[in-house]
Chains A and B, each alone.
Chain A
Amino acid sequence: MTQMSVPWRPRGKAKFDGPAGMVAGGAKTVFAIFAPFVRAFPGAIMLSAVFGTIVAVWAHYLLFEVVDIALIGSTFNIPANTGLLGGPLTVEEARSALTQIGAPAAGFLCYLLYPVQYGLVRDLVAAGGILGFISVIPLYTIWWERKVAGRIQSRTGPMRVGGWHGWSQSMADGIKLICKEDLCPAGADKPLFKLAPYLAFVPAILAFFALPFGTYWVFRQLDVALVFILAMLGIEVLGVIIAGWASNNKWSVYGAMREACQMVSYEIPMGMALLIPIMCVGTLSLTTIGDTQSGGWTSWIVFRSPFTFAAALVYYIASLASCKRAPFDLPESESELVAGFHTEYSGFRWSLFFFAEYAAMFVVSGLLVILFFGAWYSPLPLLWADGLGESLPARAVKGVLFAGPIWFIAKCVFLLYVQIWLRWTLPRIRIDQVLYACIQVLLPLMMLILLGHTFYELLVPVGGVVWTLFNLILSTIGAVLMIGMLFVATYGCWNRVRLVGNLGRELLPGS
């Protein structure tokens, strides 16, 4: 070994104490417990995870219902403007409510039930759920991106960690990143350098607090959810710019400049594209916009008029640019700027940027789904579910088949997949082309679309012949595209050996 000739003092084994040690140790323990099971029954565990999630959601729901009925009653009018610490009810009010429904000696019960009453539990559970979700999205999107990239590039991607297709690769990477040295380059603007990852990460979390996953699956049903989410996506950029600036590295400054330039210009066509569904529905509330698309495939806003169709496309392109995905990944383009704005970052701070990026990818996909692609509704019209009734099992069936967070997440994940697919297919464009595409192509196009859509809404009566004709044509185009994509994927999978050629067969995974 050449170890002897290394002039540096050999370092002892790194010791982690305090929270870092706890995190790493905890993760290792979790891994040690779960890895053998996942290795043994990967499919069963995936199925039971889905099933378990549904059951947990149900338990949660029932708890709410029980507490609501017990404490509040169905007719009780809840005072508005309540805060966290007070909860919807004080203990006194809970006692009086319980006396009303015939539970007079409920003094102790009130104190017991107080912490689990609806508003408080809901907020805590939702906040925890969102934080958990944000942690899981990057973990599994990165893993999935690596798997998809592997398949696209005729290799397998991660295969080792955890056993089954490297399912815990991202966890291992996370532990590694947490344990890495937290470097701050000499000459950097230290406070800003350390602050920047938070400026990127916290807005990404905040965006989720206004993003509805279902009609009632939203942390805060903001009137202005759309503007709020856009603002959060904009603020995330500030973190990137400050990171690039504070690093004391010219490549980072280039990355930051490109990010600022790109983001500021693409926000305009993006915002204009988002105006179109707002014009269709007449509100900024994402929940309301989503709920207007419950009538199945043809009622999705993207198929409403040729202009909405074009706007969805423009929005998707602009959203790629706004979350720095290929072919717009100039701020971190490896071959030009080394790693762009995060060149100097390491360890956990570096991973925060990735958390933020993948969370932002999910958010922009979520916006596209809510505003154009039928939100949390399935392609089947909700009316078909009317005969099922309102019993709990019937509601479960409806939730899975017709509407619910599962549909929302599935659509978002599909759009994430498209982003990954594009990234591993396309070369990167140049900064002047990025700006040309925005200012000379997308912006005028979007203005035309906006104008055209205004007149379309004004002149073409909803439900009239022309409207229906366009709606049907566009729905058919969408369906054909979708089916065509599935067909091509199936064909490629079926003929993968022939497509890659004889010699490549041995090198092709899965053949």
Chain B
Amino acid sequence: MADTLLESQPDLMLDIDKSEQGDVRTEEMLVNMGPQHPATHGVLRVVLRTDGELVLEAVPHIGYLHRCAEKIGENLQPYQYIPYTDRMDYLAGMNNNQAFAIAIERLAGIEVPERAKYIRVIFAELNRIASHLVALGTYGLDMGAFTPFLYMFREREMILDLFESTCGARLTYSYINVGGVHDDFPDRFLDVLEEFLDYFEPKIEEYNQLLSYNHIFVKRTANVGVISPDDAVRWALTGPVLRGSGINWDLRKSTPYEIYDRFDFDIPIGLPGGSERIPRSVVVGDCWNRYFVRLVEMEQSCRIIRQAMKQIPEGKILANKLKNLKLPNDEVYVEIENPRGQLGFYIRGDGSAIPSRVKARGPSFCNISVLNHIGKGCLLADIPAIVGSIDIVMGECDR
């Protein structure tokens, strides 16, 4: 099997220095991790060149979930394309809807009602929490801790219940639409949301006790897969992966879109070990920091939601004049802060109702490129730790 793989992919045969390994040399092995593997979070395929447990090279191969998402966008009207954005990053459907909707709104010059903006922020942040819950839970699962996963999914179910009560869907919402949102909150929604936040915030401390500060978990993730700040910028990493390397960059703060400039919140970044709330063995840019940035982001999202709940006005939820929307002969590129990083949409209109070009910049796609860089020289068991801490969604990576 090894031989055929080598023959079919000669580029994998990089320079193997045989002299440095002494005379009792163990054989190198090419192992396929994925596309069906429990730790690759979907259909990522990583080709590992290993020497025993040591990974010499980890090359990600993508494209198993390619569905021509961009090309489809060039054949549909924007509101028809919204459901396809759901299916890109299927764990953060709201944020994807939002990114595409904002891009079209900027292109077509649509003014979104105030209430709709608040609803968008509330749902985008709720979805950020839900997405991070999946990321953190499955990360624990990758480390062999089964129980936190189920606790986090229990809380995620509640968020999905909230979504379902408003838009009827639990995963592919298609709720945030061009010009606003589809439906208003149901009765008592804000009360239930507040009840949920009151319930949820103490749970974050529970996750800390269960997983974050668990000795074995820290041992497994601290100082593993370290991305230096320089590298993080050079590989165009975004989102928690970038912030885990200690770079304070979050589009919600640095170039606020929608109404994020009206809220008071902090941007968590990776910190060296020994700082407040950080275990001693942790270094900036390691897996533990990336994990913890997500955890703190959930707290901050709660803060944003609480403020938005206080400020939310009454009023319309959808802009006027959306019938027969013609896109101007212009182009726009909009990036927003997805749970996984910066999701960008480039759209060019040509005067018709259908965009002539749709291009998405997916955070998972860019972030996974760093895998080989940091996966070199780590152990086999670190590969799931690294892949999990980068937190990719293959639906968005392959599009």
Give yes or no for direct A-B contact (beta carbon below 8 Å): yes
Residues of A within 8 A of B145 (CB): 425-428
* Contact size range, A: 35 or more
The 9 closest A-B pairs by CB, nearest first: A428-B144, A427-B145, A427-B143, A153-B150, A503-B199, A335-B39, A335-B142, A430-B381, A427-B144
Residues of A within 8 A of B381 (CB): 330, 333, 336, 428, 430-431
Tell me the nearest residue of chain A to B52, going by C-beta: A257
Q: Contacts A428-B143, A504-B154 known; A336 to B195 CB distance under 8 Å?
A: no
Q: Does A313 contact B (CB under 8 A)?
A: no
* Contact size range, B: 35 or more
Interface residues of B in 343-399 (CB under 8 A from A): 379-384
Closest Cβ of chain B to A350, distance in Å, is 17
Verify A430–B382 contact, CB threshold 8 A.
yes
Residues of A within 8 A of B52 (CB): 257
**Given the complex of chains A and B, what is the CA–CA distance between A426 and B214 in angstroms?**
8
Residues of A within 8 A of B29 (CB): 250
Verify B384–A429 contact, CB threshold 8 A.
no
Closest Cβ of chain A to B302, distance in Å, is 14
Interface residues of B in 202-237 (CB under 8 A from A): 202-203, 211, 214, 216-217, 219-220
Q: Does A507 contact B (CB under 8 A)?
A: yes
- Among B142, B144, B379, B383, the residue within 8 A (CB) of A329 is B144
Interface residues of A in 476-511 (CB under 8 A from B): 501-504, 507
Residues of B within 8 A of A329 (CB): 144
**Given the complex of chains A and B, what is the CA–CA distance between A268 and B111 in angstroms?**
73
**Given the complex of chains A and B, what is the CA–CA distance between A365 and B255 in angstroms?**
60
Closest Cβ of chain B to A2, distance in Å, is 19
Tell me the nearest residue of chain A to B140, going by C-beta: A427
Verify A154–B154 contact, CB threshold 8 A.
yes
**Given the complex of chains A and B, what is the CA–CA distance between A503 and B154 in angstroms?**
10
Verify B199–A502 contact, CB threshold 8 A.
yes
Closest Cβ of chain B to A500, distance in Å, is 9
**Given the complex of chains A and B, what is the CA–CA distance between A431 and B147 in angstroms?**
22
- Among B146, B196, B216, the residue within 8 A (CB) of A429 is B216
Verify A424–B147 contact, CB threshold 8 A.
yes
Q: Does B141 contact A (CB under 8 A)?
A: yes
A interface residues (Cβ-Cβ under 8 A, vs B): 149, 152-155, 248, 250-251, 254, 257-258, 326-327, 329-330, 333-336, 338, 424-433, 501-504, 507
Residues of B within 8 A of A149 (CB): 146
- Among A251, A327, A333, A431, the residue within 8 A (CB) of B379 is A431
Verify B196–A327 contact, CB threshold 8 A.
no
- In the assembled complex, 11 residue pairs joining A and B whose CB atoms fall closer than 8 Å, in A order, are A153-B150, A153-B151, A250-B32, A327-B144, A334-B144, A427-B216, A428-B144, A428-B220, A502-B195, A503-B158, A503-B195
Verify B38–A338 contact, CB threshold 8 A.
yes
Verify B37–A338 contact, CB threshold 8 A.
yes
Which of B151, B158, B198, B216 is the most central at the interface, judged by chain A CB atoms within 10 Å of its CB? B216
- Among A155, A248, A426, the residue within 8 A (CB) of B150 is A155
Residues of A within 8 A of B198 (CB): 502
Q: A424-B147, A504-B199 are in contact. List 14 more A-B contacts (CB 8 A).
A: A250-B29, A330-B381, A336-B381, A425-B145, A426-B214, A427-B145, A427-B217, A428-B143, A428-B144, A428-B216, A429-B220, A430-B379, A502-B199, A507-B154
Q: Contacts A335-B384, A501-B202, A503-B195 known; A327 to B216 CB distance under 8 Å?
A: yes
Q: Does B31 contact A (CB under 8 A)?
A: yes
Residues of B within 8 A of A424 (CB): 146-147
Residues of B within 8 A of A427 (CB): 140, 143-145, 211, 214, 216-217, 220
Closest Cβ of chain A to B363, distance in Å, is 23
Residues of B within 8 A of A248 (CB): 1
Verify A335–B154 contact, CB threshold 8 A.
no
Verify A335–B203 contact, CB threshold 8 A.
no
Verify B146–A153 contact, CB threshold 8 A.
yes
Q: Mark B149-165, 1 if CB is under 8 A from A, else 0.
A: 01100100110000000
Tell me the nearest residue of chain A to B196, going by C-beta: A503
Closest Cβ of chain A to B27, distance in Å, is 11
Closest Cβ of chain B to A245, distance in Å, is 14
Q: Contacts A338-B37, A426-B216 known; A254 to B143 CB distance under 8 Å?
A: no
Tell me the nearest residue of chain B to A258, going by C-beta: B53
Verify B31–A251 contact, CB threshold 8 A.
yes
Tell me the nearest residue of chain B to A503, going by C-beta: B199
Q: Contacts A430-B220, A501-B199 known; A154 to B150 CB distance under 8 Å?
A: yes
Verify A432–B202 contact, CB threshold 8 A.
no
